[in-house]
């Protein structure tokens, strides 16, 4: 393979990757998804400097039909996933010597922590719920049918 071909295939750009649905939907622990992973465009590749990392600068939502199974019942559901449209090499987040003390971990599995503010927020976004015709309940961090 010629140098230019190697370079063009290895630089920072969206590439198809298989992503586990459980990684994208960690709150859905009581279900089995078929397939268990989906092909998504995600940023990957090399940057010209070790101080840079390949990160998404533009994303979009794609809806995929997945079989969701629980015990003896199964149904087809339409789940939104984030795809990366554009990628760039940007400076890595500085892990300097004067790092703040670590935050206390979030105690609920449906929450994730913002390392800048130490705030625990829902892993599921309002947009994911809206794509399914539902609303995010900020207290339970679950998508719920809107009340009328």
Look up the pTM and report it.
0.60
Whether residue 90 is predicted with pLDDT greater than 50 in this model: the reply is yes
* Same domain (yes/no): 70, 113: no
* Same domain (yes/no): 73, 146: no
Total domain count, the chain: 2
Contacts of 97 (CB under 8 A, 6+ apart): none
pLDDT of the residue at 111: 86
* CATH code, 75: 2.10.90.10
> Mind listing the pLDDT tens digit for each residue in 30-76?
889 999 999 999 999 999 889 999 999 999 999 999 999 988 899 99
* Same domain (yes/no): 13, 73: yes
> Mind listing the pLDDT tens digit for each residue in 91-131?
988 655 455 567 778 888 888 887 778 888 888 888 888 88
Q: Structure tokens of 35? A: 């397939």
* CATH code, 125: 2.10.160.10
The domain of 110 spans: 100-148
- The position carrying tokens 């390392």 is 115
């Amino acid at each position: 393979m010629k140098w230019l071909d190697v370079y063009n295939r290895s630089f920072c750009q969206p590439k198809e990757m298989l992503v586990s649905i459980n990684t994208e939907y960690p709150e859905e622990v009581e279900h089995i998804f078929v397939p268990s992973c989906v092909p998504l465009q995600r940023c990957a590749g090399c940057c010209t400097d070790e101080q840079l990392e390949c990160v998404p600068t533009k994303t979009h939502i794609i809806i995929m039909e997945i079989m969701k199974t629980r015990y003896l019942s199964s149904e087809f559901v339409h789940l939104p996933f984030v795809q990366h449209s554009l990628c760039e090499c940007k400076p890595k987040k500085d892990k300097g010597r004067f790092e703040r003390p670590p935050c206390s971990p979030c105690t609920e599995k449906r929450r994730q922590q913002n390392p800048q503010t130490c705030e625990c927020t829902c892993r599921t976004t309002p947009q994911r719920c809206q794509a399914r015709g539902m609303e995010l309940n900020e207290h339970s961090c679950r998508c719920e049918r809107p009340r009328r």
